[in-house]
Amino acid sequence: MSGIFGVVSNDNCISSLYYGTDYHTHLGTEYGGIAYINENGRPVKKIHHISNSQFKSKFNEEGIKSSIGIGVISDNDPQPLSFESKFGPYALCCAGLITNKEELSKGLIKRGFSFYEIDNGKINGTELVASLINQGDSIIDGIEKMHKKINGSVSLLLATPEGIYAARDRNGVTPLVIGEKEGEVAVASETCSFPNLGFKIKKFLEPGEIVFISKKGIETQKKGNSNNKICAFLWIYTGFPASTYEGINTEKVRENCGKFLAKRDDVEADVVAGVPDSGTAHAIGYAMESGKPFRRVLFKYTPGYGRSYTPPSQELRDKIALMKLIANEDIIKDNRIILCDDSIVRGTQLKNFTVAKLRNAGAKEVHVRPACPPLMFPCIYNLSTRSINELVARRAIKALEGHDIEDISEYLDPNSEKYKRMIDWIAKDLGVDSLQYMLLEDMVEAIGLPRNKLCTYCWTGKEVQKRLRNKTLLEKVKDKVEEFILE
């Protein structure tokens, strides 16, 4: 995951840049960076590791003046980067993931290109994007050609001495939104970066759309398309509760998810609780629909700990998961608890820390209700789950089948016996009294966009239908399985 923010001002943009970038901290844990155009028209970049401290503690805005700047919170690569090119000097930051990065970089190297931003033996994805853009006849042409060559998704901000080019990935997987206030225009991944800085939402960029933001205003350089496949997980987990995507508020969607979970549930319980932070709104929705009381049985020690899903090492994820959640024994003891969470990825944190803490605090029963279907595939559009074998649903399938299988279509159908066996296996592995996942159709309805406008790859997979050999089986599951093809 990464979050990007840019601003063009008639005066000094640095304060807006500094705080606007910081409002994307929930999208990354590795690097924080800004780049601004100095008085000589040259890009100046500052990048820091933020794995052990917050973005704000790494930067000092005092003494810096600029009218154009971009910033990024990144889990992928150190960025922004600055370049000298045939188009002139510019700085670049990106959000997304390139899955054919090695193939593209090898091809460029064979043609005589060189790469200089090497981290742990890996080429920096932002530098690769710049190399592809630089092959175009113009910046606009270069961005279009880059989008056509990559597999995955890249939304970007490119700052020049004249202004900022903002481009959303051509399938709309990652969002970009423009905000305005008197004398300034901003562009961001997250709308939560706007209110406290005084910006009002102007427009959400369409997939593939490219705009140029300058002191003269906003100019559309390339119109977008209707092939929107925005990531559904933004509303379920990734996005900040106060943010909206495509005009749809994240907190409201999470409450809707909780309501759908409650409508399909008949378990007896005393309290409804959420795993903070993102599970809280799901639990509130469940409580609203069921009439059961919402209680905070777990507290996240927010002053010191961020998200335990995003750090790259399992050891660090586990350490954060152990330390950040504090169980409230006085509320937990002797109660039957419905525990809502955004999702179950690996299951290790839920099993070893969350459920264990509830049991140790005296919970009589624990019933887990994830607000999305079982995750079956690692995301190929943003850096998230590292491998397919880490997913708890895949571990369940392997245990039940005795080996890895290619065709998992029956496990995608909530009405099948194999699906029910998979859920039972996961529940037993987690040590919970019951487990009931969100249905895909309920999740889509909770979001409020047509299913063909959402990317649901991590639940249904890209190639599932292609792999099925049995046409009868394909007919049975055609409404349960999505074929997601990049055009």
pLDDT in tens, 314-325: 676 677 767 789
The pLDDT tens digits of the residues spanning 248-257 come to: 999 999 999 9
Distance (Å, rounded) from C-alpha 467 to C-alpha 408?
10
CATH of domain 2-228: 3.60.20.10
* Confidence bin at 375 (pLDDT 50/70/90): very high
Domains 2-228 and 249-477 share a fold: no
Residue 477 has pLDDT above 70, yes or no: no
Q: Break the chain into its structural domains and give their ranges.
A: 2-228, 249-477
**What confidence tens digit (pLDDT) does each residue in 102-129 have?**
899 989 999 988 888 777 778 899 999 9
Q: To which residue do tokens 């901290």 refer? A: 25
End-to-end CA distance of the chain: 23
Give CA 345 to chain center in angstroms. Answer: 14
**Tokens 């200089």 belong to residue:** 116
What pLDDT was estimated at residue 369? 99
Encoded tokens for 23: 């409002």
Residue with tokens 């423009």: 178
Query: What's CA 478's distance to the chain center, in Å?
Result: 27
pLDDT band at 485 (very low <50, low <70, confident <90, very high): very low
**Residue 485: other Cβ atoms inside 10 A:** 11
The vertex-41 CA angle with 47 and 61, nearest 5°, equals 40
Express each pLDDT in 251-281 by its tens digit. Answer: 999 999 999 999 999 999 999 999 999 999 9
Q: Which two tokens stand for residue 300?
A: 């996240």
Domain 249-477 in CATH 3.40.50.300? The answer is no
Q: What is the tens place of the pLDDT at every residue in 29-56?
A: 889 999 999 999 999 999 998 887 778 7
Give alpha helix (H) positions in 186-249. 233
**pLDDT at residue 487, rounded to an integer:** 30
pTM recorded for the entire structure? 0.89
Q: Each residue of 447-470: pLDDT tens digit?
A: 999 999 999 999 998 633 333 333
Does the structure show a pLDDT above 50 at 481?
Answer: no
| Pairing of β 434-435 and β 365-370 | parallel
